[in-house]
Each structure stands twice: as C-alpha cells, then as structure tokens.
Amino acid sequence: MKTQSVALFASGSGSNAVNLIRYFEGHETISISLLVCNKPDAPVVEKAKNLGIEVLIYGNQSFEDGVELTSDLQARNIDWIILAGFLRKLPLSLIRAFEDRIINIHPALLPKFGGKGMYGMFVHRAVIEAKEMQSGITIHLVNEEFDKGRMLEQYSVDLDETDSPETVAMKVQELEHRYFPYIVERTIQQHQ
C-alpha cells in the first residue's frame, strides 16, 4: 500500500500539530511530511522543527491565488492536507486540487458557532454567551464554503453554569487531542 503523505497547516501554538506528529511517528502507511505556516514566529514552527518536520513558510500573498503553494505541494507528492489551527482562508485553487483531501478541526459543534470570525476564544466566548449546555469538536472535509464541508465526526462535552470560555477551551482541547489523530487516520485509510 502506498504511503499517504500529509502536509499539516497550522498558524498558532500547535498543540494539535504536535499531537498529530507524535501519533503518526513510525506509522505504516501515513507520514507527516511537512508543516505549512503563514507566520514565521508562530510557536508551532519551532515545535515542528524540533520533532524533525520540515517547515515551509508562505507569506499571506501566497494564499490569495494559491498557485505556487498548490504546485509546491503537488511537486512534493502531498496526498492530504490537515488543518490544525490554520487561520487563513485557503485559496480555491488549492481546495480544488485537493478535493476531499483536506481535513479541518473546528472547536465547536457545527453548524453552530462556525463561519467568519469564529475561531479560538471567540468560539468559546460565544458558546458561554449563548448559555449552551454542550460544546465539542467537529472534524470535517473542507470545501469551497467555509466550515461547511462534509462532516466526518463530532464529539461533545457537557458544560455547566460554572464554565467560563477558558474552561470550555480546555474541555474542547482535550477532545481534540483524544480524537483528531484517530479520525485523520480513519479517513485516510478509508481512501486507501
């Protein structure tokens, strides 16, 4: 079976990127080949390098038309793109070139709390303001409409009146670390 080569995209602290890199270390058929980042000083850059992952930095301009980025990934025989806290909208050319091969994780139960401006603590604050009794994660394929690609899996966690945006963030992150690598693995293996 041909090894599937994965590019991680991340812009932030990288806890999910690190978790994925560790999970797939030595994996038989899935290899994390590189990290794509749009911020040279993001903590994820150092963390990935320390784990032996090649990092490619692209300026924000590269995400406008995406031609260079798409052809670079194709030249490196990348099969899958995993978004792990990537804060730029992907160019259409990239989405089309990797149709059904881009996976995103969103820190809420879509379709609630998705769309423009809904990332990081903005999501968790909105969840608390709406007095939700549950939050969770949504792992989905990326298509041309933001946060609306085919859902792969959701996991939820109970909230109570004592929760704050910070405690919701912790509960959600725990779900992310527990389930994201497994769903990535399952999705890729189903296509093999």
> Closest approach of Cβ 97 to ligand GRF, in Å?
21
HEC profile for 58-86? CCCCHHHHCHHHHHHHHHCCCCEEEECCC
Residue with the CB atom nearest ligand GRF in the bound state: 85
Among the options 106, 124, 140, 191, which is catalytic?
106
Q: CB nearer to ligand GRF: give 5 or 15.
A: 15
Q: Is residue 106 among the annotated active site residues?
A: yes
Sheet holding 102-106, edge to edge: 54-57, 30-37, 4-9, 80-83, 102-106, 134-141, 151-158
> Closest approach of Cβ 71 to ligand GRF, in Å?
26
Answer for the pair 192, 4: CB distance below 8 angstroms, yes or no.
Answer: yes
Q: CB nearer to ligand GRF: give 3 or 120.
A: 120
> Closest approach of Cβ 102 to ligand GRF, in Å?
13
| Contact residues for ligand GRF, defined by CB under 6 A | 12-17, 84-85, 105-107, 176
Q: CB nearer to ligand GRF: give 8 or 94.
A: 8
What residues act catalytically? 106
